[in-house]
């Protein structure tokens, strides 16, 4: 497991901020923000008719774990849309890229 929005930026162990992560990827990402492609995938959990949302709702119900989807998405949006121009986002391994704010903004609306 990993925090999508890193714990260092937003200390939240809520279900909506957690993702399944490969151990090596988790280590390389560390406290970096994920790149736009990962934001798009993560944001599907907030879409009304998505299978990801249904799966998380089911898990939350079975585990008696509250979901705070609006809060998680709002925090991510606030952080991402205020990134400095020279920000680098984690893509994979040791590869970091510039933020694509058009894609990120679209995914987080």
In tens, the pLDDT along 36-65 reads 999 999 999 999 999 999 999 999 999 999
Beta strands in the chain (DSSP E): 2-3, 18-19, 89-92, 95-97
Q: Compute CA distances 94 → 2, 29, 67, 73, 86, whole Å.
A: 17, 8, 32, 26, 17
Q: Indicate if the pLDDT at residue 66 is higher than 90.
A: no
The stretch 16-36 carries a mean pLDDT of 95
At 2, is the secondary structure helix, strand, or coil? Answer: strand
Q: Which two tokens stand for residue 65?
A: 């774990």
pTM: 0.94
Q: b/e per residue, 24-44, with b = 16+ CB within 10 A?
A: ebeebbeebbbbbbbbbebbe
């Amino acid at each position: 497991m990993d925090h999508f929005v890193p714990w260092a930026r937003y200390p939240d162990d809520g279900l909506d901020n957690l993702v399944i992560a490969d151990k090596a990827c988790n280590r390389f990402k560390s406290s970096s923000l994920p790149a736009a492609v990962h934001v798009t995938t993560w944001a599907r959990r907030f879409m009304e008719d998505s299978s990801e949302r249904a799966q998380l709702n089911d898990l939350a119900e079975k585990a008696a774990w509250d979901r705070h989807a609006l809060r998680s998405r709002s925090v991510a949006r606030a952080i991402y849309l205020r990134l400095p121009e020279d920000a680098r986002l984690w893509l994979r391994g040791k590869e970091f890229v510039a933020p694509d704010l058009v894609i990120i903004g679209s995914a987080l609306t």
